[in-house]
Chains A and B, each alone.
Chain A
Amino acid sequence: MDKKIKGIEFLIALFRMIKIKNLHASIEGTEILRGINLEVKAGEVHAIMGPNGSGKSTLASVLAGRDEYEVTEGSVDFLDEDLLDMEPEDRSRAGLFLAFQYPVEIPGVSNINFLKTAINEAREKRGEDPMAAKDFLKRVKEKSKLVELDGRLANRSVNEGFSGGEKKRNEIFQMAMLDPKLSVLDETDSGLDIDALRIVANGVNELKTKDNASIVITHYQRLLDYIVPDYVHVLYKGKIVKTGPKELALELEEKGYEWIFKELEAVSA
């Protein structure tokens, strides 16, 4: 009996990734997130869609721990830890990765050095030795191939002078290098040409295992042809107002958001 319960708990723990409950957050006194509820389990892909300004990037930033945002209510449980209580760097080390909508340039710091610093610091915190240079370079080679990132970009300064598409690819390259548990991709598809889109999506799919999960923020159904989501959520004015299967994305593409808002008004009226 005992054994059985343990087994179930173990299974539940295995699949639990992140649980967001009634999350409210504001910036400079304006409430942007107004009660987000979302649960993502290991092995799942969730898509978040929604009109401009609905709070998608805000959600990503709050999860990653940007301190400009004030969380006023709610909780976020990440791999059995209180995510909101953790520093951004600890969230990262625990396995949370954010592919930025607008990746940041760091002049004079090579991509390689940047990642090496990041990886080795995380290892050090876990009490591990730094990664041997040989292994590190092997990994760089392998992962840059995955997103077909030009080898030269790995040696250039982080995002400096990268084209929009290169920046996005670089985010996925970093994701591959860091091997996170939960990835939040904020409009990684915008600015990508058709080929790049396919490459990036393939990369994401290759990295997918039954032990990790992703939240994919996008405006376009196109991306979801490649990265097939288990669920599609619609974010509107800081709330998830509709959740559906992957077909919902198709419907949105076809009809826009208007009908959902109308539905909502009808309900609240």
Chain B
Amino acid sequence: MLQGLADVEKVFQYKGMKEMQTEDELIEEITNSEYKYGFYTEMDSDQAPKGLSEVIIRFISAKKNEPQWMLDYRLNAYRIWEKMEEPEWAHLGYEKPDFQDLHYYSAPKPKVQLDSLDEVDHELLETFKKLGISIEEQERLTGVAVDVVIDSVSVATSFKKKLGELGIIFCSFSEAVQEHPELVQKYLGTVVPTTDNFYSALNSAVFTDGSFCYIPKGKKCPMELSTYFRINEANTGQFERTLVIADEGSYVSYLEGCTAPMRDENQLHAAVVELVALDNAEIKYSTIQNWYPGSKEGKGGIYNFVTKRGLCMENSKISWTQVETGSAVTWKYPGCILKGNNSIGEFYSVAVTSNHQQADTGSKMIHLGKNTKSTIISKGISAGQAQNSYRGLVKIAKGAANARNFTQCDSLLMGNNCGAHTFPYIEVSNQSSKVEHEATTSKIGEDQIFYCKQRGMDETTAINLIVNGYCKEVLNQLPMEFAVEAQKLLEISLEGSVG
């Protein structure tokens, strides 16, 4: 899945495509495209029994050999969650998950401290191969450090040594709890408090693993850090927890990718990601999300309920970039709390929904500091019967003098059965601030498609080209290798079978 530079050329080649007659057929083709990552790896897994209770939480915590403070944090969250109601306000219609019918812990065996690839379970290596992540290859070719989380336990980290020399910590969350408890304790829950929402509370109670990253003062992380998440077991909820801390004057670019096997039942993914950018620091956080979207009849698929938020201190900057083509239902609003003066928050998103996929996504930008700036660029693409909603909150607090926000929210519709909706919420309590919101909805242009065809392109190629152009501003934000991957993903999700 991750490609080296040699593959950049291939983006411009479109192989083995069928020729199509009409737009209807094309849409049919698009909505029929099959999920490419739907394999299931057979591995022994160490599972907790179904259901959620204090006992299960103690089980998870004990399994992970956690210190008391971590268990207390979980139990507290569980008690808060028990009193909360599942939110209803999103523009989504789905069957609510049965929280007692899920496994909250599933670790692939053997659970290992991996120092070299030789120690990695063979099946697991196969999984990596199918995902297209060959760790050796990557170490050599792309200079990307990858942390892979299958189901809930982080199983492989690479490049650790090199990063260690700079004092950069990049490890699984569980390891961070053991090895760097002071950092975890200091920052965990400071950006997304347990009480924030139903799913963040749930996550805080049961998260099993995730990634942790700390960049020390003044250090620029010399490579892209990357995590792959994959849900493997049936009826497993995945609740990973990510915490990235960029200390003063540091820089890091972080990417997460997600896939899951095809299953008839819905699977739940409720992650929490917290970013902390201290004074003068910068974090770029990119997501390529390709969870199983369900069958074309709308059966199965991942429920993706994620809370992602960044905290910006003085002169710092956090950019969220996401390309999302997967999940049956997505509910997610990455945002920034612009607490420090002159801090900057950015959100660039492409969300593709086809068939029966539903997405209610957007961004929250909370301006607290003076001269804070935020930019939201959201590109929605809907095909089939899909529903794609943008929901954004821009809040400018009283003290946020001269705050600026620019929001641009575009929707592209393919066919007549899909929908796009925009729900902007703007709260301004400061006279000197400026908020701009632009929104457009367009149908993919017949004229554009014909123009491309007249120059010799197939309909599918034409659509890919037009869609890529439409998403350009967002794709440009991704690190090059991932931009290539994202383009391919867009092609896959908007095309028929890719040979």
Residues of A within 8 A of B (CB): 64-67, 87-89, 91-93, 97-98, 100, 103-109, 113-122, 124, 130, 133, 157, 174, 178
Contact = CB atoms under 8 A, between A and B. Distances in A.
Nearest to A87: B19
B96 interface: no
Contacts of A118: 452, 455-457
B461 interface: yes
A-B CB proximity, top 4 nearest: A108-B469, A108-B472, A109-B469, A104-B451
Interface in B448-496: 448, 450-459, 461, 465-466, 468-473
B94 interface: no
Given A98-B454, A178-B456, A113 B15 contact: no
Given A89-B19, A89-B456, A108-B471, 12 more contacts: A65-B454, A106-B466, A107-B469, A107-B470, A109-B469, A114-B455, A114-B465, A117-B461, A121-B461, A122-B456, A124-B14, A133-B9
Interface string B432-452: 000000000000010110111
A64 B469 contact: no
Contacts of A121: 13-14, 456-458, 461
Chain B residues touching A, range: 20 to 34
Contacts of B470: 107-108
Nearest to B446: A68
A69 to B, nearest CB: 11
A105 B469 CA distance: 11
Contacts of A97: 454
Interface of B: 9, 12-15, 19, 22, 445, 447-448, 450-459, 461, 465-466, 468-473
* SS of A interface (majority): helix
A108 B473 contact: yes
A117 B456 CA distance: 9
Given A108-B470, A108-B471, A108-B472, A117 B457 contact: yes
Contacts of B452: 106, 114, 118
B449 to A, nearest CB: 9
Contact of A178 (B447, B451, B455, B459): B455
Given A104-B445, A116-B12, A120-B13, A89 B458 contact: yes
A92 B469 contact: no
B7 to A, nearest CB: 13
Contacts of A93: 456
A49 to B, nearest CB: 23
A108 B468 CA distance: 7
